[in-house]
Amino acid sequence: MRLTTKGRFAVTAMVDLAMRQTRGPVTLAAISGRQHISLSYLEQLFGKLRRRRLVSSVRGPGGGYNLAQPAASVTVADIVSAVDEPLDATQCGGKENCKDEQRCMTHDLWATLNTKMHEYLSSVSLADLVEHQAGKHVAVLHDRRTADSQKVAA
């Protein structure tokens, strides 16, 4: 199984968008700068995300992108499949012609992995990822404050 850069970048960009869209449309240039993803690559990804109605675009000054659906209703599986990223651990793409046009001995193992992977990615929403990031930042700040107060006390 391989989740390529395309899928990873699409999920990262969507988390960035979801975290910042409350202040208005988010530009791809801003996402590009924060996430170090090529602007032209983001344009390709967001074209696909827009066609799948996961994002909507706002033209003109102050324009950019917004989520087209609530973050809680968008799953990681939705994002990955929107950018045409196959999640398939089998060598045969499910055609059962893995080895010399025959089904290989481990086909069921990889097919089951595909199912489990899809179930997991379908269970994680964009809102879950945003919440995790928000909690992570709070935890980092808390750890820094605790460390700073321990230095002062010492």
What average pLDDT does this structure show over 114-131?
A: 92
CATH number of 5-85, picked from 2.60.120.680, 3.60.15.10, 1.10.10.10, 3.30.300.10: 1.10.10.10
Give the pLDDT confidence score for residue 84 in this predicted structure.
76
Q: Count of alpha carbons within 13 Å of 64, Cβ hemisphere only? A: 22
Maximum alpha-carbon separation in the chain: 71
The verdict on pTM exceeding 0.75 is: yes
Determine the Cα–Cα distance for residues 107 and 94; give it in Å rounded to an integer.
Answer: 8
Determine the Cα–Cα distance for residues 29 and 47; give it in Å rounded to an integer.
Answer: 15
Determine the Cα–Cα distance for residues 108 and 87; give it in Å rounded to an integer.
Answer: 15
Give the pLDDT confidence score for residue 57 in this predicted structure.
95
Q: Kindly report, residue by residue over 36-85, the tens digit of the pLDDT.
A: 999 999 999 999 999 999 999 999 888 999 999 999 999 999 999 999 77
Q: Kindly report, residue by residue over 11-35, the tens digit of the pLDDT.
A: 999 999 999 989 999 999 999 999 9
Domain extent listing, the chain = 5-85, 88-123
- Angle between helix 5-20 and helix 28-35 axes, rounded to 10 deg: 110
Q: Which residues of 4-21 are buried (b: 16+ CB within 10 A; e: fewer)?
A: eebbebbbbbbbbbbbbb
